[in-house]
Amino acid sequence: MDATHRTSAYKPALAWFAALGTLWVFVLVTLGAFTTSIGAGMAFLDWPLSNGSLNPKGWLTEPDKFAEHSHRLSASVMSTVTIILAIWLWRTEARRWLRRLAWFAVGLVLAQALVGGLRVLCDRLQIEMVDTSLGRLFAMLHACLAQLFICTLLALATACSRPWIEGRSRGDTSTLRRTGLVCCGLLFLQLAIAAIMRHSFAGLAIPYFPTSTPDGHLLPEAWNFRVGINFAHRVMAMVLTIALGWFAIRLWTSRAASLAMRCGASILVCLVALQITLGAQIIWTSRNAVMTTGHVLVGALTLATTFWITWLAHRDVVEARANP
C-alpha cells in the first residue's frame, strides 16, 4: 500500500468497527466461561468441526453441545473480525506501531484457535506427573491467552478513537503508568491462577467463605495442590483489592488523570466489589454455573478496565516514540 494513502487522522468507521470487535470478545469470553462452568468443553471430540459438521445434530437443543458449538462459532466470528481490522489498518493507518499491533492481534487469535483445538484433540493424553491431561494444560493456556487478546484488541480500539488521536497531554502520568502496570501484572497473575484452579477442578477445594474451615480458621486444615491453588486465589484477591483500591485513589486525586480515567477508576472499584460478591456466591451456591460464568466475565472486565486506564496514561509516551 502506498504510504501517501495512509493517515493517522480519526476514521469514524474504523473506530466503530474496532470498538464493536472489542465488545464481541466479551461475548466470546462469556460463552467460553459458561462452557467450562457446565463441563461442556469436551461436548465434541473433534476439531475444527463439531462431530464432523458445521451444524452438528443436537447443538440447538442439548445445553452442553449448544455451549461448546456457540463458543466455536463466536471464535470464528472473532477471528474474521480481527483479520478484517488488521487489513483495514494496514491499508489506511499511518502509524506503523498500530499496524504491527493489529497483525500481532491476528497472530494471537490464530494461536488461540490452535490452542483451543489442541485442548480438545489432546484431552486423552494423560500426564501422570501433574495428574491431569495435556488437553487441560492447553485449556489453562487458552484461558491466559484470552486475557492477552482482550488487552490487545482494547489497545487497538482505544488508539483508533477520537479522544486518543485528538487528545492533548494533561501532564506527567509516570506515577499512574507505574501503578497501572503493577495492577495489570497482578491481575494477569490472578487470572492465570484462576485458570489453573478452574481446570484442576479446585473451585470448591475450600468449600467455606470467608474463612477456610467450618470453625472459622483462615488457614485450611489440610493441604494438597487443589487446596493450595484455591487458597492462592483467595490471597491474590486480597492483594488485588488493596492494589486496585490504591490505584483508584491515585486516579481520583491526580491532576494528570483525565475525566475518562477517573470514571474508569469508579467503574473499577464497582467491578472489584462485584467480583468479591460473585466469588462468595460460587462457594455458597456450590459453584452455580451462572455465578461462575459471571465471575469469569467480571474478572476479564476488571483486567480490561485496568489495562484501558493504564493504556490511556501511556498515550503521550506511545505516540512520542512512534515511527509512522
Mean pLDDT of 139-164: 96
- Same-domain status, 188 and 146: no
**Helices in the chain by DSSP H: which ranges?**
12-37, 63-92, 96-121, 134-159, 162-166, 174-199, 225-253, 259-284, 289-313, 315-321
Give yes or no: residues 195 and 313 share one domain.
yes
Residue 140 falls in which region: left (phi positive, over 0), alpha (psi -120 to 50) or beta: alpha
Stretch 151-170: mean pLDDT, rounded? 92
Three cell numbers at 239?
492483594
Question: In whole numbers, what is the pLDDT of the chain averaged over residues?
Answer: 94
**Predicted local confidence at residue 324, as pLDDT:** 46
For residue 5, name the pLDDT band (cuts at 50, 70, 90). Answer: confident
Q: Which domain holds residue 256?
A: 168-324
Q: Which residue has the cell 493507518?
A: 93
Q: Is residue 78 part of a domain?
A: yes
More confident residue, 322 or 36: 36
Shared domain for 156 and 209, answered yes or no, is: no
Q: Quick check: 294 pLDDT over 70?
A: yes
Cα 121 to Cα 76: distance, rounded to the nearest angstrom: 18
Look at residue 2 and tell me whether its pLDDT is greater than 60: no
Confidence at residue 286, expressed as pLDDT on a 0 to 100 scale: 94
- Is 101 a residue whose pLDDT tops 70? yes
Packed helices 289-313 and 174-199: angle between N→C axes, nearest 10 degrees: 160
Are 310 and 178 a contacting pair, CB within 8 Å? Answer: no
198 and 212 inside one domain: yes
pLDDT surpassing 90 at residue 30: yes
